[in-house]
Chain A
Amino acid sequence: MSRMLKFKIKRQDSKESSPYWEDFTVPYKANSNVISCLMDIQANPLNSKGEKVSPVVWDCSCLEEVCGSCTMVINGEVRQSCSALVDKLEEPIRLEPMSKFPVIRDLAVDRSRMFEALKKVQAWVPADGYHDLGPGERISPEHQHVAYKLSECMTCGCCVEACPQYSKNNDFLGAAAMNQARLFNMHPTGKSLRKDRLDVLMQAGGISDCGNAQNCVEACPKSIPLTESIADLGKQASKQFWNNLFSS
């Protein structure tokens, strides 16, 4: 008989129901990843006891670690399941949904809070309207070097899942949104909203909720220098704080 892989999956049937663990065994295939195993379970939804169960639900899209939608907690650590090769994982492979977001079903979670946070910090370049705005400002290679790295964020949620300051019962914006605020605050056109972004960052749930645990920067699959971004915003906020006190 061929080698079998053991999975322990934390399941939840609906948004309101309580979670439970279920074991699965999947035939081993060379170079398979967690998603390909979940696909096997979907094709043949039998649990380890051989009972027919509802197939496990998960999210994914790009399958190459750029969209962020397949993020889950694998053996206790948050990461993308599409790039989690089973050969490198200890068995039984434990799959859990991220704990900081509402579960939709099984491993699929609702990351709306992250997108709301991006809206709150206005993580965009304000360039509305149809009229010709002329050519954009030139961007130096040094600027581009920094900005490109920051722009690689895929809002996957690893940083906030690992963060001890981000929890279901607070409204911390989290490292990803703060990093985007830094990105757009340095953009020549995005800069025009700088003060608005800082105002949001200087409210409850903003930058002062960060406790400098630096789990975010360790957990980020894109190696974005999040601590640098947080320190940079800390400096911008310090300046704004000073201005608010003495020059406004």
Chain B
Amino acid sequence: MDTHFIYRRIHSLTGIIPVGLFLIYHLYIQLYLHSGAEVYNEEVNSFYDSPLALWILVLVVYIPLIFHSVFGALITFEAQVQPSYHYFAHLLYWLQRLSGIGVLFFIIAHVWNAQLGPLVADTWGTHWEHLAEGFSDPETGLVTKTVYVLGILGATFHFANGINTFSITWGVALTPKSQQRMRVISIITFLVLTISALYALAAIW
């Protein structure tokens, strides 16, 4: 057992715990967009009010996410393009890598747009404002909306397909039958997360 194996396993694990779990929590909170600005801000702030908020953000979200992203990008560049093999799993393999890179850019843009940018420019208002204003901006609103929809699709696909490959990596799903079941679980995860996230955004569309 060497560090290579351990890194790959940590990469695989961080995709589900904690980054994947955070994704689920994060998309769930967005459903409060339907309850109006006040409730939404309250729900989001209830997390930031916790004395552990900064610790949780750094230890549970940022460090694992940065590790997963950097290592994921390294893995992506190790791969060799094999254009003549048109198998479905092979397509998923490339989509997993493409969506990973796409999500990486999206997360950077998203964190800047919804949090860091306003903080740096000292124009911080409320969470609701930064999100809703970005969406309703007459000039850049459409671009922002498109980027968010693509970012959501990328993240939900990546996480859902990741559940499937995770179960092979760790030997959770052994037989073709159990792998088929995992595929069903990952499709359901993809649909539920995507629909719920898009429904949340509909509140401020």
Contact between B1 and A240 (Cβ–Cβ < 8 Å)? yes
Chain A, Cβ-Cβ closest to B8? A208
**Would A203 and B4 be within 8 Å (CB), given that A77-B84, A165-B78, A234-B169 are in contact?**
yes
Contact between A214 and B90 (Cβ–Cβ < 8 Å)? yes
Contact between A199 and B85 (Cβ–Cβ < 8 Å)? no
Contact between B93 and A244 (Cβ–Cβ < 8 Å)? no
B88 vs chain A, min Cβ distance (A):
9
B45 vs chain A, min Cβ distance (A):
39
Contact between B1 and A212 (Cβ–Cβ < 8 Å)? no
**Which of B85, B93, B174 interacts with A235 by CB under 8 Å?**
B174
**Would A235 and B170 be within 8 Å (CB), given that A77-B85, A215-B89 are in contact?**
yes
A86 vs chain B, min Cβ distance (A):
19
Contact between B5 and A241 (Cβ–Cβ < 8 Å)? yes
Number of A-B residue pairs, CB cutoff 8 Å, is 106
Residues of A within 8 A of B176 (CB): 225, 227-228
Alpha-carbon gap, A218 to B168, bound state (A): 16
A73 vs chain B, min Cβ distance (A):
8
Contact between A211 and B75 (Cβ–Cβ < 8 Å)? yes
Tell me the A224-241 residues at the B interface (CB within 8 Å).
Answer: 225, 227-228, 230-238, 240-241
Number of B positions contacting A (CB below 8 A): 31
Chain A, Cβ-Cβ closest to B169? A234
**Would A213 and B89 be within 8 Å (CB), given that A227-B168, A235-B171 are in contact?**
yes
Of B78, B81, B82, most buried by chain A (CB within 10 Å of CB) is B82
The majority secondary structure among interface residues of chain A is helix
Alpha-carbon gap, A207 to B8, bound state (A): 10
> Is A4 close to B, CB under 8 A?
no
Alpha-carbon gap, A52 to B89, bound state (A): 45
Chain A, Cβ-Cβ closest to B162? A212
Contact between A212 and B169 (Cβ–Cβ < 8 Å)? yes
Of A231, A238, A240, most buried by chain B (CB within 10 Å of CB) is A231
**Which of B75, B78, B84, B174 interacts with A231 by CB under 8 Å?**
B174
Contact between B90 and A204 (Cβ–Cβ < 8 Å)? no
Alpha-carbon gap, A237 to B2, bound state (A): 12
> Is A38 close to B, CB under 8 A?
no
Alpha-carbon gap, A97 to B5, bound state (A): 32
> Is B173 close to A, CB under 8 A?
yes
Contact between B1 and A199 (Cβ–Cβ < 8 Å)? yes
Contact between B87 and A204 (Cβ–Cβ < 8 Å)? no
Contact between B82 and A215 (Cβ–Cβ < 8 Å)? yes
Alpha-carbon gap, A77 to B87, bound state (A): 12
Number of A positions contacting B (CB below 8 A): 40
**Would A234 and B170 be within 8 Å (CB), given that A164-B93, A218-B85, A241-B1 are in contact?**
yes
Chain B, Cβ-Cβ closest to A236? B171
> Is A219 close to B, CB under 8 A?
yes
Residues of B within 8 A of A77 (CB): 84-85
Q: Could you give 19 example pairs across A and B, Cβ below 8 Å?
A: A77-B85, A167-B80, A203-B2, A203-B4, A207-B5, A212-B169, A213-B90, A214-B87, A214-B90, A215-B93, A228-B175, A230-B168, A231-B168, A231-B173, A232-B174, A235-B174, A238-B170, A241-B5, A244-B1
Chain A residues packing against B (C-beta within 8 Å): 76-77, 162-167, 170, 199, 202-204, 206-215, 218-219, 225, 227-228, 230-238, 240-241, 244
Chain B residues packing against A (C-beta within 8 Å): 1-2, 4-6, 8-9, 75, 78-82, 84-85, 87, 89-90, 93, 165, 167-176, 179
Given contact pairs A164-B93, A167-B78, A210-B169, a sample of 19 additional A-B residue pairs in the complex whose CB atoms are under 8 Å apart = A77-B84, A162-B82, A170-B78, A203-B1, A208-B4, A212-B169, A214-B87, A214-B89, A218-B85, A225-B176, A227-B179, A228-B175, A231-B167, A231-B168, A231-B179, A232-B174, A235-B171, A241-B5, A241-B9
